Amino acid sequence: MRIFVTGGTGNIGQYVTLALLERGHQVKLLTRTAGRIPAWQQMENVELIEGNMLQLDLLEKSIQGCDAVIHIALGWGNDPMEMLDHDTRVTAFMLDAAEKAGVKNFIFTSSTAATGPMGRVMDENALRMPNDLYGATKAATEMYLLGFRQYYSKQGGYGEKVKMRRNVIRPGYTFSNPAVPGGASQSDVRFKKIADAIVNNRDMEFPAGDGTQFISSGQIAQLYVKLVESDLNEEIFFALGNRFITWYEIALAAREMMPEYTGTITAVGEKGTPDLYVVDKMKQVFGLSFDGWDDLKDHIRWNLDRAIAAKEGRDVHSVLHVW
């Protein structure tokens, strides 16, 4: 397939791009920084399109001739209208353009934020109750995607039905090392703080129950590939790890990697029983289930190496690709 990917040089997108190429697909990447990652320019079956999501004519042109669209890029704003214009409006435009271009499959990257605060049962059927503009933007875009089943011929009259399959992936807490030299990384500042404390022998203290269901970008990319190659339509998938891991446990793992560390690491309070997102659906449908520890150790090591380099005065390249 020929697949148009937005955000293909970002945290999740770079791994999705590699996974698609490994499956033999051709990839068109929309990126604001086409020259930032030389590896993409040297790969077969990769076409780079320099621009941003607010260039609607460029989006429409780029979608032409593609079999699928994987929309990962985030359009950010600081108020309701900016969030609407930069993200929801852009996605609605892309949906229409993709349907008119004959695209067969459209995947939208939402977020667990679309459902809002944790409830008793957090599966794909949970109500959308976002508690911030980011979550509201994702929830609104999901509704546009799922409601785009047909056009109107007039007010109150239905027109032509939509043929394109439309599906949603809701990532949770996703982390990543750069997939290729010069690539981006999604790394919570807490990873950096832990690494800096370990390298500089500083004590650390954590709330015992502070953690999440970590999943790496390399892991979540497998779900994108499975979904884009499927015949599913109007499905939503939570994408998180199957295990709750605390920041205290991450700090302990970092200490094991640096036995010369002489500080103390303390957990304060009770861990309790954490509320979890239900991730059974991607296992039942695609056989996918991910333990965050599989890739977390590599990410911890990567942060430690960067902290060591910084302490020694060596250059540490910026890995942030932000809107």
* pLDDT range class, residue 93, cuts 50, 70, 90: very high
CB 132 within 8 A of CB 83: no
Q: Give the mean model confidence (pLDDT) for residues 170-176.
A: 92
**How many C-beta neighbours within 10 Å does residue 265 have?**
17
Per-residue model confidence (pLDDT) at position 323 = 44
What one-character DSSP code corresponds to residue 84?
Answer: I
Is residue 188 one of the residues assigned to a domain?
Answer: no
Per-residue model confidence (pLDDT) at position 226 = 98
Is residue 300 one of the residues assigned to a domain?
Answer: no
pLDDT at 211 over 70: yes
Is residue 79 one of the residues assigned to a domain?
Answer: yes
Burial letters 27-60, b for 16+ CB under 10 A, else e:
bbbbbbeeeebebbeeeeebebbeebbeeeeebb
Is residue 141 one of the residues assigned to a domain?
Answer: yes
Is residue 207 one of the residues assigned to a domain?
Answer: no
Domain of 228, in residue numbers: 2-172+218-238
Tokens of 101: 């271009």
Q: How many domains does the chain have?
A: 1
| CATH code, domain carrying 84 | 3.40.50.720
User: How many angstroms separate the most distant Cα atoms in the chain?
Assistant: 73
Q: Give the mean model confidence (pLDDT) for residues 57-86.
A: 95
Amino acid letter, 117: P
DSSP per-residue codes, 266-294: EEES-------B--HHHHHHH-----THH
Is residue 104 one of the residues assigned to a domain?
Answer: yes
DSSP H helical segments within the chain, as ranges? Answer: 13-22, 38-42, 56-63, 80-83, 89-100, 133-147, 189-199, 217-228, 247-257, 280-286, 293-311
* pLDDT range class, residue 319, cuts 50, 70, 90: low
Is residue 114 one of the residues assigned to a domain?
Answer: yes
For the stretch 134-156, pLDDT in tens is 999 999 999 999 999 999 998 87
Is residue 284 one of the residues assigned to a domain?
Answer: no
Q: Which range among 60-74, 171-185, 236-250 shows the weakest confidence by mean pLDDT?
A: 171-185
